[in-house]
Amino acid sequence: MAPKRKPKIAVWKFASCDGCQLSLLDCEDELLAVAGAVDIANFPEASRAVVGGPYDISLVEGSITTPHDEERIHTIRRATKTLITIGACATSGGIQALRNFKDVEEYTSLVYARREYIETLNKSTPITDHVFVDYQLRGCPINKYQLVEVLSAYLNGRKPVTPAHGVCLECKRLGLVCVMVAEGIPCMGPVTQAGCGALCPAYRRGCYGCFGPKETPNTAALSTWWNQLGVSDPEIVRAFRSFNAWAEPFRKESEARER
């Protein structure tokens, strides 16, 4: 029998801040072990070396915002067995999806002197809008331990464990006093997916939704609660329009409150 081939992993970047792929390099204790177990075939942030496809796993960071990238993601999908999106940009369009609510021409002219030099699409969209995605890892940024979990799950042929429940459960598990109930601090924890470890409430701050909507979120009920805390509708719109603004439940709630 031929010796077992190391799985080939590639890392791809679209419109993003680089933070999610940096999470891989931030696994200081695991990096050399991971690098020993896999063949890192394409990871420009870390290496000059480029190995051609096909790839066993592609990690995709960033959202689709240019005509060129719209094509490129299909090429990557064709060369990939398991495609995993990492982070809010790739799974929901990211902060740059705020353009989706406005006129991109106006945005371009606000930032750039020569509009004709800029090629951009009207919308910033998640990878799932373009190709089939095998697994989506949430967060702005992702949690590096969840990344290691997802990678080792796929390398070992099992399903990753990344809960889809809300941040509230994380608070309860950590024994944190609810910032909204006890201190009246507006918190998006009730509608936001867990994964960060309830970081913001642990620092006495309301969650700001960087992991995006949890499964079956009741966004309308949360907005009503926020109103009772004295939060105005325009403020609620802004709260839902941040790093996961284009994720459907958040988008719908922001649009409902804009009327």
Partner 1 sequence: MNAKSFKVDILARVEGEGGFGVKIKDQHVKEVKLNIFEPPRFFEAFLRGRKFSEAPDITARICGICPIAYQMSACHAVENAFGVQPERAIREMRRLIYCGEWIESHALHIYLLHAPDFLGYEDVIQMAKDHLEAVQRGLRLKKIGNAIMTLVGGREIHPINVRVGGFYKAPTKQQLQALEEDLKWARDAALETTRWVAAFTFPDFQRDYEFVALRHPSEYALNEGRLVSNKGLDIAISEYEQHFAEEHVQHSNALHSTIQERGAYFVGPLARYNLNFEKLSSLAQESAREAGLGRECRNPFQGILVRAVETVYACDEALRIIANYEMPEPASIEVTPRVGTGYGCTEAPRGILYHKYRFDERGMILNAKIVPPTSQNLKTMEDDLGEFVSTRLHLPNDRLQWQCEQAVRNYDPCISCATHFLKVRIERE
Our CB check for partner 1 shows the closer of 214 and 241 to be: 241
Binding mask 186-205 for partner 1 (x = CB under 8 A): ----------x--xx-xxxx
Q: Nearest to residue 249, comparing CAs of 206, 203, 213, 198?
A: 213
Please report whether residue 120 would count as binding partner 1 according to CB under 8 A: yes
Interface positions, 87-116, toward partner 1 (CB under 8 A):
94-96, 98-99, 102, 104, 106-114
Please report whether residue 69 would count as binding partner 1 according to CB under 8 A: yes
Categorise residue 160: left if φ over 0, alpha if ψ from -120 to 50, beta otherwise.
beta
Please report whether residue 184 would count as binding partner 1 according to CB under 8 A: no
Question: What is the H or E stretch that residue 254 is in?
Answer: helix 248-258
Strand partners, 166: 193
With contacts defined by CB under 8 A, how many residues of the chain interact with partner 1? 64
Please report whether residue 224 would count as binding partner 1 according to CB under 8 A: no
Q: How far is Cα 215 from Cα 56, in angstroms, rounded to an integer?
A: 29
Please report whether residue 118 would count as binding partner 1 according to CB under 8 A: yes
Q: How far is the CB of 158 from partner 1 (least distance, A)?
A: 26
Strand partners, 57: 9, 82
Question: What is the H or E stretch that residue 54 is in?
Answer: none
Q: Which stretch binds partner 1 (CB under 8 A): 22-30, 128-136, 151-159, 222-230?
A: 22-30
Q: How far is the CB of 126 from partner 1 (least distance, A)?
A: 15
Please report whether residue 22 would count as binding partner 1 according to CB under 8 A: yes
Residue 242 corresponds to which amino acid?
S
Residues in Cβ contact with 248 at an 8 Å cutoff, skipping those fewer than 6 apart: 213
Pairing of strands 39-42, 135-137: unpaired
Please report whether residue 23 would count as binding partner 1 according to CB under 8 A: yes
CB-CB contact of 185 with 206 (8 Å): yes
Please report whether residue 49 would count as binding partner 1 according to CB under 8 A: yes
Our CB check for partner 1 shows the closer of 42 and 219 to be: 42
Residue 91 corresponds to which amino acid?
T
Which residue is listed with tokens 């993601």?
Answer: 73
Residues in Cβ contact with 130 at an 8 Å cutoff, skipping those fewer than 6 apart: 64, 70, 73, 74
Please report whether residue 74 would count as binding partner 1 according to CB under 8 A: no
Binding site for partner 1 (CB under 8 A): 13-20, 22-23, 25-26, 28-29, 31-32, 35, 40, 43-49, 65-66, 68-69, 94-96, 98-99, 102, 104, 106-114, 117-118, 120, 124, 140-141, 196, 199-200, 202-205, 208, 210, 235, 238, 242-243
